Structure 1
Amino acid sequence: MTFLSIHLPKVVLNKNSQQKLTLSLGRFEGTARVIIEIEVLNETKLLKIVDNVEFRKGLASVDFQVPDIVGTGILRITVEKNGEIAVKELPIGIGEPPKNKLKVVFVWHHHQAPPLNPGMKIVLPWFYIHISQGSFQGFEGGPYAVHVDIHRKIPQALDVDHVSPSLLEAWMMALQNKLEMSLEDKRKIEKVLRGFKQLALEGKIEPMFSVYAHTIQGYVLKVFKERGMEEFARELLLWELKLGKKLVNKALGIEPKGVWTPELYWGEGLEKLYLEAGGRYTVLCDQHFEKAVGEKDTIYEPYLLGDTNFTLFFRDRKLSDWISFLKDPGSEENAELEARWFVAALYERQLQKPGGVVVIALDGENWMIMIEKRYAPLFLYHVYNFLVSNSDYFELTTLRSVVTKVKPTRRIEKLPEGSWIALSASQWTGDIKDELWNYVLEKLKYVAFLASIIPPEDKDRLLSDENSFLYEAYKASATAIDSDYFWYGYKEPEQTLIKEWADEAEKISRTALSKVRAIKRDETKIEVFN
């Protein structure tokens, strides 16, 4: 029999409501029997048989009353004609609009490692390839262009976007003609960057900030401490956070309050750095929540950390990984069906924690491109569309909005260290990667020493000056420890980039140290001249 499809705008249906279905059966002309079934928890709650349903040009309409029940289940439509049978099943939720809707926050982490070598040559082209190149059904360009376009197609959609500072900087450098690129690539970068900025200014997306380069902060604090450079590591990360915030503000026109924790890698005391940089909240993994110590209920609410006013959100890993490891749906019909299953799973969270906060956090580009997924963006489009259609049950929102509306009532006293990968550093360490960390640490000890002899007031001034030797040394140091470099540290060009940027940091510091003379004024103060 010809393929059967069903038009049903919503996933969650009000109990006892009348619903009208539009059925599509190719170009079929004639009458057929239609059987409507609803199953909840494997029990049949509705069985309606309609004979002699008339199809014209393949289309027909049937209606039914939703049973008086609350839960998730299956809507099954069977069409029988001339001894042939076509069956279609859709996941649904049934309930009544709640006073407190489920708050759904999508947090997209758009990131690329710094693409340049110290000679300012483009070595990693992904910062523009993922704008310009893509073969996605219904969309033009790469993943970053897709995210902007989905908002254009669904104006009511809200989400959170961490466009990493090093990625924003590369885009801005391209538009300032500081990079050798084609005019066409620059035009596409300009369009996407303008799109993100417009969405931010309109309140459609909430930008987050982070350290300048994408590094595993908890591990950095640990390994630098082992080498006696803990103070330098904290200074470097704080400087990176402030630079990252400045770049986001400059590129997108909004001062961000949320801090993205790269690789969700937590380390003790990071909240103090975040607060000092102007951050107010971050997102971690449910794995952190499971091993955290404190007043815990579920991951579907915000928590305060320790004795601070810093707020923690925990992502729903099952839903996040659903998207991260999504297989290509293969067709728009399947993309829509997969989206229905996803929204039905969200409704289950509403039943579990009415009015709760569900955070879905993952890379913004990798889920579309690690294996080519032509129909993947249509899945996200339909998820957003269903959530908007079911706005009586769900509220697509942002972290900034949640922290103003939902006051945390519980505190986490202690968090485990580690990343989203089993709370470990395994992806960035071991074998050649350990050798690279040792190489970097040996080089950066010169930066640490240089920083240690400069008085605080001079250090602050130098670190604010993009042309100063200390600014350049810190930026080279930050780039050398980018976690994406170490993720791929088993191959080139990442190995060379790590070493070149570490060498650059050492060279700048050695040159500066060779010009320094210090005069001891008293027992505590050293004045440095350069």
Structure 2
Amino acid sequence: MARLLAEYAVYLPGERVKLLVESAGGGRLTLKRGEETVGAWTVGAGAQVVEVDAGEPGLYEAALEPGGLSAHFAVLERPETAPLLAVVFHNHQAPNYSPDGAVREPWAYKHVWEDEFQPYCEGGAYYVQAKLLAKWELAWNANLSPSLLKQWADLLERGVVLNSDGVYVSVGPESHSARRVAETLETFRKLARGPLEVLTSFYSHPLAGYIAETFGWLDLLAEELELGKRITEQVMGVEPLGVWLPEMSFSMKLVPLIVEKGLRYVVLDAISHFAGATGDKGGIEEPYALGDLVIFFRHTGLSDLWSFKYSNVRSREEAEAGARDLALRLALEAYASRARPLTVALDGENWMILPSPKPATALLFDELLGQLKAAEARGLVKLVKLSELLGRVEPRKLTSVPPRSWRGGYDKWVSELSNVQEKIWANIVEAYELYKALEASVGCGEEEKLALMNTVNSDHIWAEFADESFSREWVLALRRRLDSVLASIRLEGFAGGKLRLRNTLERSVRVLVREDGRVREVVLPPGVAELEVEGSVTEILVRGWRREFAFCKPIVRAAALTV
């Protein structure tokens, strides 16, 4: 085994730099600043430490031959004000509930209680994250999605039933598995009272911008955000100021909706959103205001490098080297741009677990936090919670931001697997139609709202995970509810120009009565009601979004019939 590392990613001039060298056969170690060689040593076999004074500011490369190993570090002058770095994790699991109450896919739990990072540490991604953030106590930002929090809270409050490959398995709040979930949640709660900024989100992870632009369902999105914010407040015990847009799906139509909920900022993408934005633009390393909403634009390149390159480490050695390399990139970018802040945002768990858990990523995360802590101690970077910058850093003003996702367009959710995704979107439209018909006739409670929200969960639309059966289940649940309302109105007779109706429900039903093209609203109380018929053809119906649902066939007055 061979290894070459600098102890830290960044140093101040005059500090002692420790180069950790391990080689089976020894070799020649050289140190360069740019193209200039500033030191050379012969090293023997085995592990040893070579110390050198950090010289002039610059980027240094240590190289070991034979073997072709290299390591990088930077020497930087301490600035008067440390550049700011904001890291944002999007930790999310969809609301994986079935209409019968079972949890259809148990990922919210498995990524806590399963030991995904053996042999290095216990627990799943969320458990490991919470423990490491608590260990290093760095300022951090995380969207713990409301649907993830709800699944944790449901388990701890009353237990859950999991659908495990068609077999229902009960897990109680007193179980060993639940105790690990409780420990994870409590750790995040403690962090939220200190270094962790918790962002909220729309409850079911809908494509909010796409829905606003394509369908205009702002009422649904307002309900989604209201529920998401309420869950965040209740479960985490904090009032969130930031909102994570699922898939960074943005629309200008969302701005007043977000602001009305008392939320102050969002995180969007540099390439997909900032590049096409209009207004007073500088760089992405500073905040922007769109009306009363503050936007922080993530550095796309660094965020993607973290997600897709550094996630591929396979050993302790690769994790140690990767952590230093990533810390160096983050520190140099923030330093060079005098960031206010440099924002890096990514899925918090997926880089560690997809397509399957990658144990060495836990080591990388631990090492990375340690490297950032060391850089912060030197005054070369300062990690921040985004809310700390509201009112502290004056934002530039934007006039518009394009309605796009982090990918730019929406092919991943609309057309890449069109034969399945078209059916899913048809289900979503049907669910909204049924919901609006229920809302108009008898009103909708929490159960109906959750049924609709579950249908628009975007995780089940994403091409790789597209599952038409998930949305279909919830459409059928709403269909059954509306059918029961439609069947509750019975015709009992007609006399004296009045139609006798019976409402078998224990609550009033609002209907529309259309006669010869004229429409009026009628409230039918429980029991018998009489409806005066004024036209030749009477229809009793309820309207959804764009469709109508009839309580019965059109009723034609006998006098209007031609015999």
TM-score norm. by structure 1 comes to: 0.83
Which whole-Å CA distance do the structure 2 matches of 1:435 and 1:97 have between them? 58
CA offsets, 1:451-477, max 9 Å, x none? 3578xxxx7xxxxxxxxx432222111
Q: Where do residues 376-455 of structure 1 align in structure 2 (5 Å cutoff)?
A: 376-391=361-376, 392-408=379-395, 410-429=396-415, 430-452=418-440
Structure-2 separation of matches of 1:346 and 1:362: 14
Which residue matches 1:227? none
Say if 2:295 is the partner of 1:300: no
One-letter amino acid matched to 1:107? V
Matches within 5 A, 1:113-152: 113-136=94-117, 137-152=119-134
Contact 1:75 1:90 in 2 (8 A): yes
Q: Does 1:317 align with 2:315?
A: no
- In 2: Cα distance, 1:361 partner to 1:505 partner: 36
Instruction: Give the aligned partner of residue 81 of structure 1.
Output: none
Work out whether residues 91 and 142 of structure 2, in 8 Å CA contact, stay in contact via their aligned partners in 1: yes
- 1:3 maps to 2:5: no
CA distance in 2 between partners of 1:507 and 1:412 (Å): 47
Tell me which amino acid in the other structure corresponds to 2:105: L
**Is contact 2:323-2:364 (8 Å) kept?**
yes
**Secondary structure at the residue paired with 2:202?**
coil
Q: Which has the larger radius of gyration?
A: 2
CA contact (8 A) 1:473 1:509 kept: no
Q: How does 1:343-358 map to 2 (within 5 A)?
A: 343-358=327-342
Matched, 1:223 2:205: no
Partner of 2:32, secondary structure, is strand
Query: Is the CA contact 1:472–1:505 (under 8 Å) kept in the aligned structure 2?
Result: no
- Aligned with 1:311: secondary structure? strand
Give the paired residue count: 482
Q: Does 1:503 align with 2:476?
A: yes
Q: For 1:365-384, what aligned pairs fall within 5 Å after superposition? A: 365-371=349-355, 372-384=357-369
Q: CA deviation at 1:527?
A: 7.2
Query: What is the DSSP-based 3-state SS (H/G/I as helix, E as strand, rest coil) of the residue aligned with 1:431?
Result: helix
Give a deviation string over 1:178-222, Cα, whole Å, max 9, x none.
413332221221111111111112x12111111110110112123
Q: Which moved more, 1:445-454 or 1:285-294?
A: 445-454
Distance 1:452 1:102, change over 3 A: farther
Contact 2:17 2:51 (8 Å CA) reproduced: yes
1:508 offset after TM fit, Å?
Answer: 3.1
Instruction: Find the residue that maps to 1:417 and give its secondary structure.
Output: coil
Q: Please list, as runs of the form range in 1=range in 2, the aligned pairs for 1:274-289 lying within 5 A after superposition.
A: 274-286=258-270, 287-289=272-274
Shift of 1:234: 1.0
Question: CA 1:388–1:527 in structure 2 vs 1: closer, same or farther (change >3 Å)?
Answer: farther
Shift, 1:426, TM fit:
3.2
Instruction: Give CA deviations for 1:400-424 in whole Å, capped at 9, x if unaligned.
Output: 122243221x112111112111333
Aligned to 1:21: 18
Contact 1:419 1:425 in 2 (8 A): no
Q: In the aligned structure 2, how far is the partner of 1:250 from the partner of 1:150?
A: 24
Deviations 1:23-71 (A, max 9, x none): 444799xxx886441232xx21x422457x8x8x95655433333234x
Alignment deviations for residues 384-436 of structure 1 (CA, whole Å, 9 cap, x no partner): 1111101111112211122243221x112111112111333433443321122
- 1:176 match: secondary structure: helix
Q: CA deviation at 1:86?
A: 6.1
**Counterpart for residue 547 of structure 2:** none
Judged with a 3 Å threshold, the aligned counterparts in structure 2 of structure 1 residues 151 and 297 are, in CA distance, closer, same or farther, namely same
Q: Distance in 1 between matches of 2:268 and 2:340?
A: 17
Q: Give the Cα–Cα distance (whole angstroms) in 2 for the partners of residues 304 and 351 of structure 1.
A: 24
Could you give the per-residue CA deviations for residues 286-331 of structure 1, whole angstroms, max 9, x where no partner exists?
A: 12111111111111111000xx221001111111111211343222
Task: Determine whether 1:485 maps to 2:460.
Answer: yes
**Per-residue CA shift, 1:106-159, capped at 9, x if unaligned?**
1111111112111001211111111122331532111111111212332x3221
Q: 8 Å contact 1:210–1:241 — kept in the other structure?
A: yes
- C-alpha separation in 2, matches of 1:67 and 1:445: 69
TM norm structure 2: 0.79
- Candidates 15, 39, 48, aligned match of 1:48: 39
Aligned letter for 1:503? L
Contact 1:473/1:506 (<8 A) preserved? no
CA contact (8 A) 2:412 2:462 kept: no
Alignment RMSD: 2.9
Q: Compared with structure 1, are the counterparts of its residues 506 and 257 closer, same or farther at alpha carbon in structure 2 (3 Å cutoff)? A: farther
8 Å CA contact 1:102, 1:356 repeated in 2: yes
CA deviation digits over 1:317-352, x for unaligned, max 9? 111111211343222221111112212212331343
Contact 1:447 1:505 in 2 (8 A): yes
| 1:342 to 2:326 alignment | yes
Which residue type is aligned with residue 91 of structure 1?
H
Cα distance in structure 1, aligned partners of 2:47 and 2:473: 65
Supply the distance in 1 between the matched residues of 2:38 and 2:113 (Cα, whole angstroms): 50
Counterpart CA distance in 2 for 1:59 and 1:475 is: 59
CA distance in 2, matches of 1:321, 1:215: 22
Q: 1:529 to 1:316 in 2, by over 3 A?
A: farther
Select the residue among 144, 154, 160 that pairs with 2:141.
160
For residue 33 of structure 2, the aligned residue among 28, 39, 49 is: 39
Which amino acid letter does the alignment assign opposite residue 430 of structure 2? E
2:327 aligned with 1:330:
no
- Alpha-carbon distance change, 484 to 398 in structure 1, aligned in 2, over 3 angstroms: same
Give distance in 2, aligned partners of 1:48 and 1:88: 16
1:209 aligns with 2:200: yes
2:501 corresponds to: none
Cα distance change on mapping 1:38 and 1:450 into 2, 3 Å: same
The letter for the 2-side match of 1:329 is V
Flag the 1:258–1:86 CA change in 2: closer, same or farther, 3 A.
same
Distance 1:528 1:403 in 2: 52
* CA distance in 2 between partners of 1:219 and 1:23 (Å): 51
